[in-house]
């Protein structure tokens, strides 16, 4: 989304606003005094969505979120966000419990059959 410069004729404050191109003339009021502002004509500026970086996997320069998502998907990686470590630990514990369930069930069945045969007292 483009960034447009504005100027308040009342308090003489210059500012910037994000607007869709079709809404570029609807820049609103001054955030300081509340009076209408005018859009300045200056060189176009576009704020990048992420800071460019070199992909550790491919060596390509990543300059947008879509390029980052594509690079992560292609390398079988994911974006490490807050809470991921806890999710990984929780998933690992659930997988271990699931893997142990058949062993646990077999032990319970064996103990039950030994108790019912009188070979084991509880």
Q: How far apart are CA 102 and CA 112, in angstroms?
A: 15
pLDDT digits (tens, 9 = 90+) for 32-84: 899 999 988 876 656 667 888 999 888 999 988 899 999 999 988 888 788 88
Residues 42 and 61 in one domain: no
Q: What total number of domains does the chain contain?
A: 3
Q: What is the pLDDT of residue 120?
A: 85
pLDDT value, residue 44: 62
How distant, in Å, are the alpha carbons of 70, 79, 89, 94, 109 from that of 84? 20, 9, 9, 15, 38
What pLDDT is stored for residue 86 in this prediction? Answer: 92
pLDDT tens-digit map of 35-46: 999 988 876 656
**Residue 46: what pLDDT?**
65
Cα–Cα dist 59/10, whole Å: 51
- Domain with 67 in it: 49-79
The per-residue pLDDT of the chain, averaged, comes to 88
Helix (H) or strand (E) holding 17: strand 14-18
* Same domain flag for 71 and 90: no
Residues 120 and 91 in one domain: yes
Q: What is the pLDDT of residue 35?
A: 92
Contact 52, 61 (CB under 8 A): yes
């Amino acid at each position: 989304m483009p960034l447009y410069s504005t100027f308040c004729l009342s308090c003489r404050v210059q500012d910037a606003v994000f607007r869709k191109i079709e809404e570029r003339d609807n820049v609103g009021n001054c955030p300081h005094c509340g009076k209408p502002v005018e859009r300045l004509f200056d060189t176009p500026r576009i704020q990048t969505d992420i800071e460019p970086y070199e992909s550790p996997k491919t060596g390509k320069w990543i300059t947008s979120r879509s390029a980052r998502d594509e690079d992560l998907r292609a390398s079988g990686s994911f974006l490490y966000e807050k809470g991921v470590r806890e999710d990984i630990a929780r998933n690992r514990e659930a997988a271990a419990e699931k893997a142990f369930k058949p062993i646990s069930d077999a032990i319970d069945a064996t103990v039950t059959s030994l108790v019912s045969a009188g070979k084991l007292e509880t």
